Amino acid sequence: MFTRTRFVTHRLSHVAGRKFGSSYSQIPKLSSLQEFQEQILDSKNGVKVIDFYATWCGPCKAMTPHISKMMQEYPSVDFYKVDVDQAMDVARSCDISAMPTFMLVKDGRITSKVVGANPAALENGIKDTL
């Protein structure tokens, strides 16, 4: 049963990646606390969404097509991603304890977080932050 579940999940994410992956793959990846500070907190212009994810996380993969769609619907919003396994210092400093977690930032100030794979909550968070 577990093997089949993994196969189905892998297959669905592979299909989603082909259809929507190009937008998501273009999201800048933040790899260090210094980079996060410079790009997100020190930048005082606009709305930013940071996707804290893990490569092994099924719900994170399920959010990929939704994020790609939001990138097209909200072109004024800058999207970034942080792999929590590669940038543990960033995840720790932002108190990330579950994946996916989406942090919304406006003009260098953290406005809210959306924890879990909840496309509606993320979109509402973006609308409220704009």
In which band, very low, low, confident or very high, does the pLDDT at 45 lie, cut at 50, 70 and 90? confident
Catalytic residue at 57? yes
CATH label of the domain that carries residue 22: 3.40.30.10
Q: Which domain holds residue 25?
A: 2-129
Length of the chain as a residue count: 130
**Token pair for 84:** 């929590």
Q: Which of 41, 57, 115, 121 is catalytic?
A: 57
Three-state SS annotation for 47-76:
EEEEEEECCCCHHHHHHHHHHHHHHHHCCC
Whether the pLDDT of residue 52 is over 70: the answer is: yes
How many domains in the chain?
1
Tens digits of residue pLDDT in 11-44? 333 334 333 445 888 999 999 999 999 999 888 8
What's the rounded mean pLDDT across residues 81-98? 96
Q: Which of 60, 90, 105, 126 is catalytic?
A: 60
